[in-house]
């Protein structure tokens, strides 16, 4: 997972339909971390329903994980900030592209893995 740039994040809209989007991520000790705009559809969705699925792009060794999301609006763990910077060429997950933007960090501990031929 360290060499994968994107993971597909699936959240649930209020009507139960899926909202699927590629996101940058860090995987650390059984937990996925995703940085995003605090006003995005994905954040609105997880605030209403914390259940998500994540799927790696690699078609030869597909990996799908499920979990419940926690939203961090401040006090991002420094080891995670450093991991994003290391993985994405110095990118600061806390960086706000606009003065009115809000950055959040999604923390998604894995509750279930769905692997090829070995759903758990």
d(CA 80, CA 44): 22
pLDDT digits (tens, 9 = 90+) for 54-96: 999 776 778 899 999 999 998 899 999 999 999 999 999 999 8
Burial class (CB in 10 A: 0-12, 13-18, 19+), 99: exposed
Whether the per-residue pLDDT at 24 is higher than 70: the answer is yes
pTM (two decimals): 0.91
Tokens of 120: 């758990």
6-115 fold? Pnp Oxidase; Chain A (2.30.110)
- Nearest-angstrom CA–CA distance, 22 and 71: 18
3 exposure class (CB count in 10 Å sphere: 0-12, 13-18, 19+): exposed
């Amino acid at each position: 997972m360290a060499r994968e740039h994107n993971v597909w994040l699936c959240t649930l809209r209020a009507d139960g339909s899926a909202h699927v989007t590629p996101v940058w991520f860090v995987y650390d000790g059984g937990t996925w971390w995703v940085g995003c705009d605090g006003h995005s559809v994905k954040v609105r969705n997880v605030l209403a329903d914390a259940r998500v699925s994540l799927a790696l792009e690699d078609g030869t060794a597909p990996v799908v994980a499920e979990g419940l999301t926690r939203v961090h609006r401040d006090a991002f763990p420094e080891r995670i900030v450093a991991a994003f910077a290391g993985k994405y060429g110095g990118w600061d997950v806390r960086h706000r592209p606009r003065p009115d933007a809000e950055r959040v960090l999604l923390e998604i501990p894995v509750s279930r893995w769905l692997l090829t031929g070995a759903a758990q």
